[in-house]
C-alpha cells in the first residue's frame, strides 16, 4: 500500500506529477528507490518519443564564474515559446551553462555523456531527458561556447 507521505517525498525529489509518482510507487510495491528508477525509465521512454519534434523556440543563457575568468553561453531550444519562458526551462539552461563552464578544456567526453556536476549518478543526457518528460517537449542544445582567460 502506497501512503501519501511516500508520494509527497517522491514528488519533491523528482518534481514529477503526483499521479505519476503514485503509479510508480504502486508498480514498485512501495519501494521508494525502485519507484525513482521507474520514473527515470519512463522519462527516457517519453524523451525518445519527443525526439522527432522540431525545437524552434528557446533561449540563450550565459554564466560567468565569480572570478570573471571563465564563462559559457548556450542556445537551448524547445518546441514552444510557452515552455521557453517557463522557470523550469530557464533553470535547465542555467544548469547547463554552469556545466559547460565547469568542463575541463581538455575534456574529450561529449557533453551529453558527462556526469552532471550536481549529481554524478546522472549524465547530462539524463538531466535533459528528465526535463523533456517534465515539460512535455523536445529539448535540444543547439550550440554552446566556453570562454576562459
What is the pLDDT at residue 106? 73
Instruction: State the distance between the two ends of the chain, measured CA to CA, in whole angstroms.
Output: 57
Residues 13 and 77 in one domain: no
- pTM attached to this predicted model: 0.71
CATH number of residue 93's parent domain? 3.30.479.20
Distance CA 88, CA 24 (A): 22
Name the DSSP letter for residue 69.
S
Lowest mean pLDDT among 43-47, 60-64, 124-128: 43-47
- Model pLDDT for residues 53-87, shown as the tens digit of each residue: 788 899 999 999 999 999 999 999 999 999 999 99
Residues 82 and 128 in one domain: yes
Distance CA 16, CA 62 (A): 27
Angle of helix 32-50 versus helix 4-14 axis, rounded to 10: 50
- Model pLDDT for residues 102-118, shown as the tens digit of each residue: 988 777 888 999 999 99
What is the pLDDT at residue 49? 67
Residues 32 and 68 in one domain: no
Amino acid at each position: 500500500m502506497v501512503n501519501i507521505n511516500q508520494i509527497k517525498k517522491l514528488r519533491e525529489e523528482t518534481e514529477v506529477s503526483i499521479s505519476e509518482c503514485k503509479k510508480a510507487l504502486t508498480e514498485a510495491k512501495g519501494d521508494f528507490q525502485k519507484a525513482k528508477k521507474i520514473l527515470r525509465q519512463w522519462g527516457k521512454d517519453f524523451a525518445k518519443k519527443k525526439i522527432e519534434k522540431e525545437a524552434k523556440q528557446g533561449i540563450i543563457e550565459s554564466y560567468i564564474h565569480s572570478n570573471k575568468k571563465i564563462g559559457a553561453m548556450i542556445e537551448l531550444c524547445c518546441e514552444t515559446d510557452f515552455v521557453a519562458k517557463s522557470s523550469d526551462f530557464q533553470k535547465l539552461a542555467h544548469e547547463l551553462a554552469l556545466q559547460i563552464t565547469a568542463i575541463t578544456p581538455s575534456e574529450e567526453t561529449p557533453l551529453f555523456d558527462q556526469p552532471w556536476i550536481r549529481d554524478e549518478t546522472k549524465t547530462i543526457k539524463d538531466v535533459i531527458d528528465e526535463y523533456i518528460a517534465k515539460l512535455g517537449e523536445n529539448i535540444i542544445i543547439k550550440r554552446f561556447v566556453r570562454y576562459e582567460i
